[in-house]
Structure 1
Amino acid sequence: MKQFIEKIKKKENLTFDESKSAFELLMEGKAEDQEIFDFLTLLSAKGESSDEVAGGVFVLRNKSKRVNVENCVDTCGTGGDGMNTLNISTASALLLSSMGVKVAKHGNKAVSSKCGSGDVLEALNIKINLEPKDIENQINDNNFGFMFAPNYHSAMRFVGPTRKKIGKRTIFNMIGPLSSPALVKRQVIGVFDKKLLKIFANALKNLDIKFAWIVNSEDGLDEISPYAKTNVIQLKDGIISEFIIDPNNLNINADNFENLIGNDAAFNADRMINIFKGEDNDFSKAVCLNAAAGLVVNETHQNFDKAYDGARKHILSGQAFKQLEKIQNG
């Protein structure tokens, strides 16, 4: 471990193979607590590279329990944008499942917000402590399965205490969303910092991802925003491109950021139920924008504007609530 720490100290990036070797030591409990502390804090001070992220993801995926499903989308983002919004990516995952898209949703309980994806799903009476076989059945039957990260990444236990001690974001906050136990090939990933867009795209290029959108909005959301332009980097078949989504071009007419502010799990679940029953508000529009990204990466739609219109029609019809009941009873 010392050789990697020395290299990072000199502000030099690790190669993909070096990163894999370092994370093998971390995930097998072969690094001392002080080494883990130095490795993570020095990486953070230097700024993590795409090869370093990809190496960590490669090892964490390798050591996770496996969920064997195909042709699924994940909408797991980094969180940590500090905005305390409602659970937009979780709601968009459920909406996608009601539109015939298979979703393998990877996530956790709240870390920096009041309510994470695991919290809100529990409040919706959706089981989150499921074994791989149960999740495979849920996805095959209802197009939706939730993989609760702590149940699938036992190798993380070796770094947990040190991460707590550090008390701020480390490379693990970047690795987590990319380490789906279902090895999804299609992803919509919201990131908390614009600087991560290209880092994530290049990391995913190393990891056999077919189609991904990595998004960060100019009003600070790690989602596609209904209020401000959103920067998108697309990775499709190994080719990286970038563009901007402007809500003004979609006639979204969302105007009150307060409408997106969340609270505890019961509050957030209640707001989700309302929009699934057809209530129209800024939250509903935000969910449709992010579901539209899922429809594009799933190649259900080629055109984002049409995907958004389709998601809007679907959510206003109330069919998403029927799907929610189906998942609850699954």
Structure 2
Amino acid sequence: MKEILQYLFNHHTLSKSEAKAIMIEIAQNKFNATEVTAFISIFLMRNITLKELEGFREALLQMAVPVNLDTSDAIDIVGTGGDGKNTINISTLASFIVAGAGQKVTKHGNYGASTTTGASNVLEELGYEFKNDSARLQEDLEKANICFLHAPYFHPALQSVGLLRKSLGLRTFFNLLGPLVNPAKPQYSMIGIYNLEIARIYQYLLQKDDKEFILVHGMDGYDEISLTHDSKIITKNGEEIYSAEDLGFDSVTPESIKAGKTTQETAKIFRNILNGKGTEQQNSVVLANASVALYHTHKFGNYDDCLLLAQESLFGGKALKCLELLLD
């Protein structure tokens, strides 16, 4: 590792094969915590390159615990995290709304590393039991229209660096890998990205896949459609900027979509929203993300149709029913 670090400290970057080899060795615990921390720190000082991200991703997918699910018509709604905004769990809430609207969801998530409450934290707090058995996950998908894949159960490398990431409490390149390595490999993905430069790298990488993707970025630094400012939406066909009004909503304030100070508080907010007791601003943000996700599949009509479906899912109790069936 010393030679690798010196090479990188001299402003060099890794090839795809070098990045892949190093990630495999990290997963195999070949380096001590100090060496891995130093390696991670390099990417705090500069952005990751396309070849590095490709190599890291390929390694994680190669080492992933296999999962056998029917995902030919499924979507994942996920954010990189690391935007420092401490919002409610918008992508996870949108996932349940989308599931309630009739779209299958294979949600990939993890504990929060650079935030208090990640998707895994909130679902665990609500009583969900993580699974890595394909049959049980498929059963969840069939009965609740959604299943949840807790990343460390499927990625040895993420498990080996979990405590280190939490102790650092900073956004690292592992934030960027999470949305790219869903072991179920769903046909559709909606990925929130905190940084436009990173969004470009994602765009180049995902255009090589045969899957459908949509990248969303809040122009004031959110890794989701926040409605606090305009949002950039990028697909294989190009990119557009949308205001809150374009999406059918009023703008919201950053304070109105803040998470709680603890996992317990955030989980309570989460359930309140699915119970139909969220504030207008909270509801607007999760509905905007869910509607864009539904529209992205090209199965539910135009955007206005998708917004109506999302509203029926949230306010008609369908999203809540999906959560209850998942927890059952």
TM range (shorter): 0.7 to 0.9
1:248 aligns with 2:248: no
Give me the CA root mean square deviation: 2.6
Q: Residue in 1 aligned with 2:220?
A: 219
Aligned in 2, Cα 1:158/1:253: closer, same or farther, shift over 3 Å? closer
Aligned in 2, Cα 1:302/1:53: closer, same or farther, shift over 3 Å? farther
Q: What amino acid does structure 2 have at the position aligned with 1:62? A: Q
Of stretches 5-14 and 68-77 in structure 1, the one that deviates more from structure 2 is 5-14
The CA deviation string for residues 251-292 of structure 1, in whole angstroms up to 9 with x for no partner, is 412444332111133333333333333346111111111112
Contact 1:216 1:232 in 2 (8 A): yes
Superposed displacement of residue 209, structure 1: 4.8
Aligned in 2, Cα 1:38/1:75: closer, same or farther, shift over 3 Å? same
Q: What amino acid does structure 1 have at the position aligned with 2:216? A: V
Q: Secondary structure at the match of 1:271?
A: helix
Q: Secondary structure at the match of 1:106?
A: strand
Q: What amino acid does structure 1 have at the position aligned with 2:182? A: S
Of stretches 115-124 and 51-60 in structure 1, the one that deviates more from structure 2 is 115-124
Q: What amino acid does structure 1 have at the position aligned with 2:89? A: N
Correspondence list, 1:94-243, <5 A:
94-160=96-162, 163=165, 168-206=170-208, 208-235=209-236, 241-243=238-240
Aligned in 2, Cα 1:157/1:112: closer, same or farther, shift over 3 Å? closer
Superposed displacement of residue 34, structure 1: 5.4
Q: Residue in 2 aligned with 1:85?
A: 87
Q: How far, CA to CA, are the matches of 1:68 and 1:52 in structure 2? A: 28
Q: What amino acid does structure 2 have at the position aligned with 1:324? A: L
Aligned positions, number: 324
Contact 2:16 2:55 in 1 (8 A): yes
Q: What amino acid does structure 2 have at the position aligned with 1:18? A: E
Of stretches 52-61 and 15-24 in structure 1, the one that deviates more from structure 2 is 15-24
Q: How far, CA to CA, are the matches of 2:134 and 2:152 in structure 1? A: 13
Of stretches 80-89 and 292-301 in structure 1, the one that deviates more from structure 2 is 292-301
Superposed displacement of residue 73, structure 1: 1.0
Q: Secondary structure at the match of 1:147?
A: strand
Superposed displacement of residue 40, structure 1: 2.7
Superposed displacement of residue 59, structure 1: 0.8
Q: What amino acid does structure 2 have at the position aligned with 1:120? A: V
The CA deviation string for residues 137-177 of structure 1, in whole angstroms up to 9 with x for no partner, is 21122211111112221233444566567553322221122
Q: Secondary structure at the match of 1:195?
A: helix
The CA deviation string for residues 176-205 of structure 1, in whole angstroms up to 9 with x for no partner, is 221112122321111222221111222223
Of stretches 226-235 and 165-174 in structure 1, the one that deviates more from structure 2 is 165-174
Q: Residue in 2 aligned with 1:266?
A: 264
- Structure 2 unpaired stretches of 5+: none
Superposed displacement of residue 250, structure 1: 3.2
Q: How far, CA to CA, are the matches of 1:194 and 1:250 in structure 2? A: 20
Q: Matched residues, percent identical?
A: 29
Contact 2:132 2:154 in 1 (8 A): no
Superposed displacement of residue 85, structure 1: 1.2
Superposed displacement of residue 223, structure 1: 0.9
Q: Residue in 2 aligned with 1:287?
A: 286
Aligned in 2, Cα 1:205/1:51: closer, same or farther, shift over 3 Å? farther
Contact 1:92 1:290 in 2 (8 A): yes
Correspondence list, 1:28-47, <5 A:
28-31=28-31, 35-47=35-47
Q: Residue in 2 aligned with 1:64?
A: 64
The CA deviation string for residues 8-33 of structure 1, in whole angstroms up to 9 with x for no partner, is 33434333233223323322334455
Q: Secondary structure at the match of 1:76?
A: strand
Superposed displacement of residue 293, structure 1: 2.5
1:257 aligns with 2:254: yes
Q: Secondary structure at the match of 2:249?
A: coil
Q: What amino acid does structure 2 have at the position aligned with 1:194? A: L
Contact 2:287 2:307 in 1 (8 A): yes
Q: How far, CA to CA, are the matches of 2:227 and 2:142 in structure 1? A: 32
Contact 2:114 2:171 in 1 (8 A): no
Of stretches 4-13 and 288-297 in structure 1, the one that deviates more from structure 2 is 4-13
Q: What amino acid does structure 2 have at the position aligned with 1:200? A: Y
Aligned in 2, Cα 1:245/1:27: closer, same or farther, shift over 3 Å? same
Contact 1:88 1:286 in 2 (8 A): yes
Of stretches 144-153 and 13-22 in structure 1, the one that deviates more from structure 2 is 13-22
TM-score by length of 1: 0.87
Aligned in 2, Cα 1:255/1:173: closer, same or farther, shift over 3 Å? closer
Q: Secondary structure at the match of 1:75?
A: strand
Contact 1:192 1:222 in 2 (8 A): yes
Contact 2:50 2:205 in 1 (8 A): yes
